[in-house]
Amino acid sequence: MNLHEPSFVDVFVGRQPILNPQNQVYGYELLFRNGYEHNYAEFESDDQATAAVLHNALMGFNLDELVGKAKAFVNFPESFFKLRTPPFFDCNAIVCEVLETIEPTDEVIGGLKYLKDLGYQIALDDFVFKEKFIPFLRLADYIKVDISTVKPENLGLVFERIKKVTSAQLLAERVETKDEFSICLDAGCVLFQGAYFAKPQIVSGKKLSVNQLNLLELLAKISDESVSIDGLLAIVEKDMGLSHKLLKVATYYRTLGMPKFNSLKEAMMLFGLKRVQSWVSMIAMDTQSDVADEVFNMARIRALFLRHAAQQDGLNRPDSFYLSGLFSMLDVVLGCSLEEALAKLPLSDEMLDGMLYQRGDVGRLLMVVKSFEAKDDAEISPHYRHLYLQAVRDVNAIDQIA
């Protein structure tokens, strides 16, 4: 293959959010792959080809569709940092991550200085403090530390040692629990990556608040297969904000051939009961103001992915897969166990088995989408990558208009 010839590749991506102490999204780490048969590049010249693939990949989509206004953190190969040509992407949009396997040679250090002079930000991925990496530390804007490799009582010492060399922002990776989040915050971290925000702190005997009970009542009615358009309209019309958001979502999905809406009922009739049920469920969950926005985004992405995957796989009742994806994070929204939250809803055994025990097609597809969230997607079929990417795009688009 001639690397100077145009190269067109299919782009697949997994992403994991990076949050600040207020549970607000600061950025996303993105994982790029290419090709239908393999999850790696096959070229004659490994290093330069990998750089070429990444350049092509970064040009192959609208970054706003993946991360919105947040920063994108992207791993780059060693060859990228040896180039002396301006990257194709905006320095304000993408943070260049240096993999832990890259050695601090004069050529790589020179490349980092070149990127810094152009205004690009540098992150050190899975950083382990060694004297030879001090030149990297002095050029970095972000230091990412995998806390699973450090004893909790030693985190403060590790971070203090790093802060003596650099003023870069400390980012804790693989933060899985609220306790770990607190330890990292006390030790000086300002950014966090992992599943801590998606795992509720379970309190034995905790009672749901009145607001949460109202939410569960609404979700139960929405989930009831016997509900009609008029019955659903009666629920929605009680809340002006819910009605407004539903119309905005309907407007987003309206095609040129569809008539304009003269009423909320017309919009609901046009799209049908099942689709509107899904939308109302999504919007209703978003009424919990004390939950991180990213939790709702993840739930929406799961919902859209499961529906599209079910449709593509020829499975029955794809809208039940949508609700399964959406409700799979109901424990986080309500701050209780998933079993407790789902017990209040009239859901089928297939949905419950999938959400609670990863059984059947619902469980299988939930495991797929969770792999994308954790960036542990190397073995996932490429056609699911396209569906996940489309779900991310749709959620970001809806989030901008809602």
CA–CA separation, 234 and 362 (whole Å): 30
Phi-psi region of 90 (alpha: psi -120 to 50; beta: other; left: phi over 0): beta
Q: How big is the CA angle at 133 (ends 130 and 134), to the nearest 5 degrees?
A: 100
Does 264 share its domain with 150? no
Helix (H, G, I), strand (E, B) or coil at 26: strand
Greatest distance between any 2 Cα atoms in the chain = 70
- Where is the domain boundary, 198, 224, 253? 198
Mean pLDDT in residue range 9-17: 62
Does 286 share its domain with 310? yes
Question: Residues 114-131: pLDDT tens digits?
Answer: 999 999 999 999 998 888
Mean pLDDT in residue range 379-401: 79
CATH code of 249's domain:
1.10.3210.10
Does 81 share its domain with 175? yes
Lowest pLDDT segment from 220-229, 359-368, 385-394 = 220-229
Question: Residues 79-101: pLDDT tens digits?
Answer: 888 888 788 778 888 899 998 88
Question: Residues 34-82: pLDDT tens digits?
Answer: 433 333 334 344 454 445 545 554 555 567 777 878 888 988 888 888 8
CA–CA separation, 76 and 132 (whole Å): 20
Does the residue 203 lie in any domain? no
Does 225 share its domain with 280? yes
Residue 375 structural domain:
210-401
Query: For residue 398, what pLDDT is reported?
Result: 64
The residue type at 212 = Q
Does 40 share its domain with 166? yes
Query: For residue 355, what pLDDT is reported?
Result: 94
The answer, yes or no, to whether residue 243 has pLDDT greater than 50, is yes
Helix (H, G, I), strand (E, B) or coil at 31: strand
**How do beta strands 191-193 and 11-19 pair?**
antiparallel
CATH code of 65's domain:
3.20.20.450
Question: Residues 191-224: pLDDT tens digits?
Answer: 999 877 655 443 333 444 445 555 666 777 777 7
Nearest to 12 by CA among 400, 394, 391: 391
Does 188 share its domain with 223? no
Give the chain's domain count: 2
Does the residue 145 lie in any domain? yes
The answer, yes or no, to whether residue 183 has pLDDT greater than 60, is yes
Query: For residue 210, what pLDDT is reported?
Result: 43
Quickly state the pLDDT bin for 171 (edges 50, 70, 90): very high
Element (H, E) at 38: none
Question: Residues 145-161: pLDDT tens digits?
Answer: 999 888 888 888 888 88
- Where is the domain boundary, 156, 174, 198? 198
**Size of the chain in residues:** 402
